[in-house]
Amino acid sequence: MASAHREGQDNREVIHHNDICVGCGICSDICPTNALNLGPILPIARGIVDMDYIRMDENKCVVCGLCSFACPFNAMEFKINNLAAKKYERISKMGSWDKY
């Protein structure tokens, strides 16, 4: 399990759950800082190599959460102040900015 954490006005954390991940690469494609990289998917899936599908560079990750919202399998978890960001109504309804 890879993760990145930043503290500030809000404590933010991105956590990768390898047991849910299928190695599709959507998260690494959307990452604006190239902090996520796919490992060797086929050898990992076959059990030849023991490592996570995704490698996260904590020094590059800005903990924006784009990867977690893009992941169709919920393998990337984004937390704000230790609460799942997808549960925040304001964040989950991105089309409704006029309310804020």
Read off the pTM: 0.76
Q: Which pLDDT score is estimated for 89?
A: 59
Distance CA(68)–CA(66), nearest Å, equals 6
Contact between residue 23 and residue 45 where contact means Cβ atoms under 8 Å apart: yes
SS3 content of the chain, % helix, strand, coil (to 5): 25, 25, 50
How far from chain centre, in Å, is Cα 69? 8
Give the residue with greater pLDDT, 1 vs 30. 30
Structure tokens at 50: 């023991």
Q: Which pLDDT score is estimated for 64?
A: 92
Q: What are the tens digits of pLDDT across the range 23-76?
A: 999 999 999 999 999 999 889 889 899 989 999 999 999 999 999 999 999 999
In this prediction, residue 11 has a pLDDT band, given cuts at 50, 70 and 90, of confident
CA-only gyration radius of the chain, Å: 14
In this prediction, residue 2 has a pLDDT band, given cuts at 50, 70 and 90, of confident
Q: Which pLDDT score is estimated for 14?
A: 93
Give the residue from 2, 5, 57, 1 showing the smallest Cα distance to 31. 57
Q: Which pLDDT score is estimated for 88?
A: 67
